[in-house]
Amino acid sequence: MGTDKESRISYFDSLNQRSPIIIRKCTLDDLEGVIEVNERELPEDYPYFFYKSILDNYPESFLVATTDDGKVVGYIMWRVEKTPAPDSLRFYNKGHLVSIAVLKELRRKGIATALLSNSMETIKKYKIHEYVLEVRVSNYGAINLYQKFNYTTHSIKKRYYRDGENAYYMTKPA
Ligand SMILES: CC(C)(COP(=O)(O)OP(=O)(O)OC[C@H]1O[C@@H](n2cnc3c(N)ncnc32)[C@H](O)[C@@H]1OP(=O)(O)O)[C@@H](O)C(=O)NCCC(=O)NCCS
């Protein structure tokens, strides 16, 4: 997906009609829809300014999935973090997957796959060396998804989530 292009996938709806899903960069107008998906699908909520700052700073890799009429049904957002390289005194950039979610009623149709593959391409514009993410140890669906993209478990972050659940810290070279 180029900077301003969108890509499309499609799925068969309940009437067996082929329905398009558009994958494109998030805009300011989409943020309300993104927040709605997040609040419905994930226990981790963020304030509006958090989404806005991700959009302002990393617009290339903040993508939404929408229906034909513009309703946001999924999103993915990343940020870039500078960290010391493990084997030298230099710093390098990590692409950190902040959040991804797809509405329950539209899952297992390849939407997260399209969001992840497109955004992993575009986040390279920020010159990252590694993709990293945290995922609840109980979140088998998401873990499966990341493994399909060849992420591997680097370590466990104890009590990473507010409710005390551990996270797998998964990484992949960029
Ligand atoms: C995780 C999530 C984003 C996946 O979205 P999706 O659009 O359904 O994913 P896809 O259709 O692209 O699935 C791709 C692959 O991921 C794996 N996968 C996805 N959901 C799965 C599930 N519930 N159980 C097992 N494997 C699953 C499968 O390997 C799947 O391929 P398949 O359908 O051919 O078997 C979605 O379930 C979701 O929004 N969950 C709530 C939010 C969340 O947990 N986010 C991740 C936080 S780290």
CATH number of the domain that 99 lies in?
Answer: 3.40.630.30
Instruction: Say yes or no: CB of residue 25 within 6 Å of ligand 1.
Output: no
Nearest atom (ligand 1) to Cα of 142: 1
How far apart are alpha carbons 106 and 115 in whole angstroms? 13
Question: Is 2 within the bounds of a domain?
Answer: no
Least confident of 82-86, 124-128, 144-148: 82-86
Total tally of structural domains belonging to the chain: 1
Domain assignment present for residue 151? The answer is yes
Q: How far is CA 12 from CA 2, 90, 118, in A?
A: 27, 49, 22
21 belongs to a structural domain: yes
**In terms of Cα–Cα distance, which of 85, 172, 79 is closest to 131?**
172
Tens digit of each residue's pLDDT (9 = 90 or more) over 29-64: 999 999 999 999 999 899 999 999 999 999 999 999
pTM of the model: 0.95
Lowest mean pLDDT among 42-46, 76-80, 82-86: 82-86
Has residue 129 been placed in a domain? Answer: yes
DSSP category for residue 141: H
Ligand 1 mean position to 47 CA, how many Å?
Answer: 25
- Domain residues for 70? 7-173
Is the CB of 20 within 6 Å of ligand 1? no
Q: How far is the CA of 126 from the centre of ligand 1 (A)?
A: 26
Is 1 domain-assigned?
Answer: no
